């Protein structure tokens, strides 16, 4: 969209225009408001969709510290539960790692992401934050200069131009931020060649631990969400559609792979949601393009194998909020200049661990499978290895 195309159309402005109301966009919005910086959030979907989208639920210790530091942890304190044990079930038996007592001695906090998003939204709106739902950013322009703009389609179909000092794209992998990168922007992508059927079951957790099962038929995972809801994963063939498996087949397969015959049956329930996830990683070489900054999934996509996505999003949002404040309040552009490198250090570390987890949990015979079993055995027997695992697993 060029300047002339805007004539006659709505025009608005904010110092920072934030695209997307996920964890990245809403943490950023809250922190900017607290610094007295004018901002607006543009969100493609509706309020209900944002509030009800079930996603991840394991918060790293660093994420909890960020939320506490900024007074955004009320719900978390009320109903988040500390969690610090995982259980591996393999062809060689089972073992548990009390990871909150290993490594840096930190637990996860289990708190469903949609509840966190609801808290962040309530805090943002309560503090007078501006948010436009059902408003899709279609293009970011002018980012190579110091007057960037966002063209956004409002619910009534009008296109409004938002003028900004900076644009923060927190609108995920398929958002307008990524779609507006300059030609030649470098993206590092890896397809791990593995797919998971992700399930949300209306069933109490069956283990008092995160469960990871390796089985000749493929990986299965168990993660508590709440007292009544459990997340399960089943490795499936690439190309599987979410509806391909009947509920009975899902539970039978979970029981088989989790070795319920040896360790006790799973508590079954209705499958509330199901999605197929192809495990992929994708990192932009830079999270800054002039006046356009990317955070969360918009900047890098990480496979769910180590539950790092939301935690990285919060870390990046805090760094970006501080850097905007330094620039706008103190005239110091240095933190903004360092933002991308600082984030990428964390992103690549998380990617490396996530990749390690994928190789721990999936193997193709014979060589990969031999390596996988050896890696698992090392984790079972080596205290040094266990400490490293715990540090990476909870750390960010």
SS3 assignment, position 71: coil
Q: How far is the CB of 249 from ligand APR (least distance, A)?
A: 26
| Residues, the chain | 396
Q: How far is the CB of 198 from ligand APR (least distance, A)?
A: 10
Q: Confirm or reject binding of residue 73 to ligand APR (CB under 6 A).
A: no
Q: Which stretch binds ligand APR (CB under 6 A): 164-172, 194-202, 206-214, 353-361?
A: 164-172
Q: Spell out the SS3 assignment of 201-270.
A: EECCCCCCCEEEECCCCCCEEEEECCCCCEEEEEEECCCCCCCCCCHHHHHHHHHHHCCHHHHCCCCCCE
Residue 250 CB partners (closer than 8 Å, separation 6+): 197, 199, 232, 234, 271
- Window 197-236: residues binding ligand APR (CB under 6 A): none
Q: Which of 17, 21, 168, 343 binds ligand APR (CB under 6 A)?
A: 21
- CA 221 to chain centroid, in Å, comes to 18
Nearer to ligand APR, 313 or 376 (CB): 313
Q: Which stretch binds ligand APR (CB under 6 A): 44-52, 236-244, 256-264, 363-371?
A: 44-52
- Window 300-329: residues binding ligand APR (CB under 6 A): 309-310, 313
Nearer to ligand APR, 361 or 376 (CB): 361
Q: Confirm or reject binding of residue 116 to ligand APR (CB under 6 A).
A: no
CA max distance for the chain: 70
Task: Give the integer Cα–Cα distance in Å for 350 and 352.
Answer: 5
Q: Confirm or reject binding of residue 28 to ligand APR (CB under 6 A).
A: no
Q: Which of 137, 140, 283, 320 binds ligand APR (CB under 6 A)?
A: 137
Dump the DSSP string for 272-285: EEEEEEEEEEEEES
The C-alpha angle with vertex 250 and arms to 249 and 253, in degrees rounded to 5, equals 80
Other beta carbons within 10 Å of 323: 22
Nearest alpha carbon to residue 180 among 156, 148, 132, 154 = 148
Query: What residues are labeled active site?
Result: 83, 212, 304, 308, 393
Q: Which of 14, 17, 18, 25 binds ligand APR (CB under 6 A)?
A: 25
Q: Confirm or reject binding of residue 20 to ligand APR (CB under 6 A).
A: yes
Evaluated on CA atoms 344, 345, 351, 352, the torsion sign reads positive
SS3 assignment, position 20: coil
Lookup: tokens for 37: 């910086």
Task: Give the integer Cα–Cα distance in Å for 6 and 161.
Answer: 7
Tell me whether the omega of the peptide bond preceding residue 155 falls within 30 degrees of 0, making it cis: no
Nearer to ligand APR, 67 or 176 (CB): 176
Task: Give the integer Cα–Cα distance in Å for 353 and 350.
Answer: 5
Q: Confirm or reject binding of residue 43 to ligand APR (CB under 6 A).
A: yes
- Window 256-295: residues binding ligand APR (CB under 6 A): none
Between helices 383-394 and 334-361, what is the axis angle to 10°? 130
Q: Confirm or reject binding of residue 176 to ligand APR (CB under 6 A).
A: yes
Q: Which of 14, 16, 19, 120 binds ligand APR (CB under 6 A)?
A: 19
**Total of residues contacting ligand APR (CB under 6 A):** 27
Nearer to ligand APR, 155 or 370 (CB): 155
Q: Confirm or reject binding of residue 24 to ligand APR (CB under 6 A).
A: yes
Q: How far is the CB of 264 from ligand APR (least distance, A)?
A: 30
Nearer to ligand APR, 103 or 309 (CB): 309
Nearer to ligand APR, 136 or 327 (CB): 136
Residue 371 CB partners (closer than 8 Å, separation 6+): 359, 363
Q: Which of 75, 296, 363, 395 binds ligand APR (CB under 6 A)?
A: 296
Q: How far is the CB of 137 from ligand APR (least distance, A)?
A: 4
Q: Which stretch binds ligand APR (CB under 6 A): 172-180, 181-189, 271-279, 386-394?
A: 172-180
Q: Which of 61, 170, 292, 315 binds ligand APR (CB under 6 A)?
A: 170
Q: How far is the CB of 176 from ligand APR (least distance, A)?
A: 4
SS3 assignment, position 31: helix
Where does residue 36 fall: left (phi above 0), alpha (psi -120 to 50 degrees), or beta otherwise? Answer: left
Q: Confirm or reject binding of residue 175 to ligand APR (CB under 6 A).
A: yes
Q: Residues in the site for ligand APR, rule: CB under 6 A?
A: 19-25, 42-45, 50, 55-56, 113, 136-137, 170-172, 175-176, 296-297, 309-310, 313
């Amino acid at each position: 969209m060029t300047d002339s195309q805007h004539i006659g159309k709505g025009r608005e402005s904010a110092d920072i225009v934030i695209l997307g109301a996920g964890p990245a966009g809403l943490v950023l919005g809250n922190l900017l408001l607290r610094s007295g910086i004018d901002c607006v959030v543009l969100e493609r979907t509706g309020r209900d969709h944002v509030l009800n989208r079930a996603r991840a639920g394991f918060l790293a210790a660093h994420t909890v510290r960020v939320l506490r530091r900024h007074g955004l942890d009320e719900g978390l304190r009320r109903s988040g539960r500390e969690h610090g044990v995982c259980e591996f079930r393999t062809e060689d038996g089972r073992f548990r790692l009390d990871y909150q007592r290993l490594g840096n001695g930190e637990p996860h906090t289990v708190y469903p992401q949609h509840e966190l998003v609801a808290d962040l939204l309530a805090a943002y709106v309560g503090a007078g934050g501006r948010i436009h739902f059902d408003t899709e950013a279609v293009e970011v322009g002018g980012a190579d200069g110091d007057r960037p703009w966002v063209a956004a389609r409002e619910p009534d179909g009008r296109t409004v131009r938002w003028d900004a000092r900076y644009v923060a794209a927190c609108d995920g992998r398929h958002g307008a931020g990524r779609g507006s990168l300059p030609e030649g922007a470098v993206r590092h992508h890896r397809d791990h060649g593995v797919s998971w059927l992700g399930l949300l079951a209306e069933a109490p957790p069956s283990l008092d631990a995160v469960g990871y099962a390796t089985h000749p038929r493929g990986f299965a995972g168990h993660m508590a969400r709440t007292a009544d809801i459990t997340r399960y994963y089943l490795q499936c063939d690439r190309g599987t559609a979410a509806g391909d498996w009947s509920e009975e087949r899902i539970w039978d397969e979970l029981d088989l792979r989790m070795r319920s015959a040896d360790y006790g049956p799973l508590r079954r329930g209705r499958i509330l949601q199901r999605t197929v996830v192809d495990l992929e990683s994708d990192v932009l070489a830079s999270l800054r393009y002039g006046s356009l900054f990317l955070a969360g999934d918009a900047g890098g996509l990480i496979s769910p194998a180590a539950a790092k996505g939301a935690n990285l999003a919060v870390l990046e949002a805090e760094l970006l909020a501080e850097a905007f404040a330094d620039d706008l309040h103190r005239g110091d552009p240095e933190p903004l200049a360092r933002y991308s490198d600082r984030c990428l250090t964390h992103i690549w570390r998380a990617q490396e661990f996530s990749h390690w987890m994928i190789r721990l949990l999936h193997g193709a015979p014979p060589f990969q499978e031999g390596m996988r079993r050896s890696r698992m055995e090392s984790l079972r027997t080596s205290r040094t290895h266990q400490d490293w695992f715990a540090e990476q697993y909870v750390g960010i």
